[in-house]
Structure 1
Amino acid sequence: MMRSSLQPARAPGYLVRVAKPKPALAIDTVPASRSEIDLDNARELKWWTKRLACNEVQLREAVARVGPKAAHVEQLLDGVESILAV
C-alpha cells in the first residue's frame, strides 16, 4: 500500500491525542442580571465590554455617568444624547 505524501509516517502503536474543547456553559456566559451592570464582577465586566463593544474604562465611565442600568449605558455608548427612562 502506498502512503500519501500528506500523511506523516508514524511508528506502529503511536497515539495522537487531540485536546477536546470545553463546552461553554450558559451560566458562564450570561450575567446574573441583564438589566444592570455589576462592575465588581470580573466575569460580568468582560461580558458587558464584549456585548457593548467598548473597553473597561469606557464602560466604567459610562456607568459612573448614567448609573448601572444596562439600557442607559448602552444608549450613552451608542451616542444617544438624551437617556430615555425605562
Structure 2
Amino acid sequence: MMRLFLVLALVVASGFSANAACLSQSEAQQVVASGNAQSLGSVAASVQGEIVRAQLCEEGGRYVYQLSVLKNGQVTTVVVDASR
C-alpha cells in the first residue's frame, strides 16, 4: 500500500509522461511471463475501486500500469509501479 502512495505522489509531482510506451496485450503478457513486471492481478489489490481499463507501459526504464479506475461514480487515472 505504501508503494502505491509513493508512486502516486511521484505521478502527481511529475505527471505521467506522454512518452511512455504502452505495450500491446501480447507484449505485456511476455513481459509478465518473463518476470520483468508484476501481473495486473497482483497490483489490483492495492487499487481502491474497479479497474475498467489497464495498460502496461514502459517509462524511464521501468514498467508501470496506467489504470482507469471507477470509484464513487467517477473514473480517474492511476499509475502503479509494475516493476519487480
Q: Which has the larger strand fraction?
A: 2
* TM-score bin (small chain): under 0.3
Bigger relative contact order (CA 8 A; separation at least 6): 2
TM-score, normalising length: structure 1:
0.22
Q: Which has the larger helix fraction?
A: 1
TM-score, normalising length: structure 2:
0.22
Report the structure number with the largest CA radius of gyration.
Answer: 1
